[in-house]
Every structure is written in C-alpha cells, then in structure tokens.
Structure 1
C-alpha cells in the first residue's frame, strides 16, 4: 500500500503543479481581455477531483483494497498514459490552457497536437485517470462513483466550453 499511496500523492503533486500553471495562465488570459465562463461548476470540479484522490486512499486503507497484478499494472499504464496526454494538451495549448474556462479574444482555436484528433483530449485524460487510478489498487467504488459524477460534470463543462468558444468565434466574425 505504501507504493500506491506514493502514486496517489504523486498525482496530487502533479495536480498542484497544474494549478500553479493554471493560475499563471488565467492571469495572462484575463490581462489580455479573456472572459471566464462556468464559474459555478468550477468548485464542484475541484471538490470532485479532490474526492477522487481522497477516495483512492480511503478505500484502500479502510477497505483493504487488493492489488491484482494483471489489473493493477494495466491501470498504472493507463494512469501514466493519461498524464502524458494531459501534458501534451497543456504544451499544445500553451498560455491558453487552464483549469477554468477562459477564452481570450483573437486567439485562434488550437487544432494541433492531440486536438488534431479530438475536440477535448484533456477530458479523455481526466476520464481515463479517474477510472484507472482507483483501479490500480482495487478501489472499485471510488472508480465507479468518480466516473458517474465526472460524466455529469463533463457534460456541463463541455457545453460551457463550447458555448464560450462559439461566442468568441461569433465575436471574431
């Protein structure tokens, strides 16, 4: 369980690094005329992602979730691939990447990197990680609850992003 705890804490540290970068990018975006959408669902998103990390640890510590090598190692691979995809998204979007929905006028829609193939690749990474991280060590309940809640949240989040991007595109036309 010690190595699993270290993995979850490593993901938590990575998330903290994301938040530092997101704050810097938000300041840049707002200073360059960006407008934020979806403020009401942002605290719910933060709570859900925090609960994911806590749930992973609690379910394993209290419930004695079992590491099943075939599943566990496959899920470690998915977690690592999700991290790679997430950072590819971050690198591709550059200053436009954020954990909030902030659209800067006159910035082109990014269509390179993973955005060549997927409209919202970062959410693929989030969904994969949110399912795989708990399953690394048998936290099935956490995986199911996060996946269901995240599905609802992402439907709201994606509609919000699409509306903000459409409004920005309309303003540019």
Structure 2
C-alpha cells in the first residue's frame, strides 16, 4: 500500500514542501551566495566534499522515494504529518543558517581573505547549523514517505557525506583562522547543542 505522501491532497502538500526545499537550495544555497562572493579572493580546499554531498543526496533521495512508493518498511500514516513538519523545520533552520553566515557561505569549502568566525544566530550553539537543518529535513523526508528504510538510508548518507564534509571544513577553518576557530570549536558542538 502506498503512503499518504503519494495519494490525494497529502501528495500535493508533500510535493509543495519538497519543492520548497529545492527552491531554497537553488536560491538560498547556490544563487545568492555566488552573487555575494563575486570579486573576493578565496582559498579553496573542498577535497571533493561538495561533489560527494550532491551525488549522495540525489542517490539517497531516489532510494528513499523508491522505498516509499514500493511500500517497503512502511510506517503508519500518522508519521507523514510530523515528517512534513520536520521537513519545514529543517528547511527553515538551513536557510536561516545560510542567511546568518552571509557571504561566507559556500557549497564548496572556501575561506575568504577577510574570513572570520561567525558566532551569532544559530552559530552560537553549533558549528554547522545548515547541516543540522539538512539532517532534520532528511529525517522529515524519510518519515513523510513513511518508510523506515528510507529514514535509515538518509541518515547513513548524511553521516558519511556530511561527516566527511565537516572534517574537511573544520580542518580548513582551523588552518586558515587559527586560534579563533579552535576556541570556537571548544565552546560549540557540531550539529546538536550540548550533544554532538
């Protein structure tokens, strides 16, 4: 049996939220940061993490949709609703974090010549709040397609791809920003305040 995300009015809501996610990524994470960075000198040290994230996200979403449409590991209908809410929350967290980071945000690991530690907004609590937003969105997506294998797949992909990205990013920022970033790392967690 196919879940709520693929039938009736619930499917319209699902695809509106799903579209909002991608519109946010295209405008908030790709277009606006590219325009803000024009003309600035930057050190690039991505080490393939951007390509890993993009490719693994597309594969994970494809697999998650496959599980959902096939009804594999189907979860009860009620989980669709918190899934949609978590997707919206994750989108909001990510876009807010991107806005606060401003011109220092990039889809690839880069350090601007006047780069500094940003520790306001969500960055007061965690070092990678835009990734926290992505994590919440992934969990929401897995729940919205009502499949526990989809949730598991999305979490594994997140752990591998974003885990690698965070290590690359932190190494680069430590090298380029020195003690300021090391001090920031000591007082914040990576993804979830007070936990991890």
When the two structures are superposed, what TM-score results if normalisation uses the length of structure 1? Answer: 0.84
What secondary structure sits across from 2:24 in the alignment?
helix
**Greater mean alpha carbon deviation, residues 6-15 or residues 78-87:** 6-15
Q: CA 1:6/1:59 → structure 2, altered by over 3 Å: closer, same or farther?
A: farther
Measured in 2, the distance between the counterparts of 1:13 and 1:67 equals 29
What secondary structure sits across from 2:177 in the alignment?
helix
Structure-2 residue corresponding to 1:14: 24
Measured in 1, the distance between the counterparts of 2:75 and 2:15 equals 13
Measured in 2, the distance between the counterparts of 1:86 and 1:80 equals 10
Q: CA 1:19/1:62 → structure 2, altered by over 3 Å: closer, same or farther?
A: farther
Say yes or no: does 1:153 pair with 2:179.
no
Provide the aligned C-alpha RMSD in A: 2.3
C-alpha contact 2:67 2:147 (8 A) present in aligned 1: yes
Deviations 1:8-58 (A, max 9, x none): 233233322232234334x43xx3221111242221110122223333433
Measured in 2, the distance between the counterparts of 1:143 and 1:171 equals 38
Which one has a larger percent helix, Structure 1 or Structure 2? 1
Deviations 1:99-128 (A, max 9, x none): 111111222210100001111111111111
Structure-2 residue corresponding to 1:88: 96
Deviations 1:80-100 (A, max 9, x none): 111111111111111111111
What secondary structure sits across from 1:108 in the alignment?
coil
Listed as ranges, the gaps of 5+ residues in structure 2 are: 1-5, 181-196
Measured in 2, the distance between the counterparts of 1:10 and 1:53 equals 15
- Among 144, 151, 173, the residue aligned to 1:165: 173
**How many residue pairs align between the two structures?**
168
Shift of 1:73: 1.3
Say yes or no: does 1:139 pair with 2:139.
no
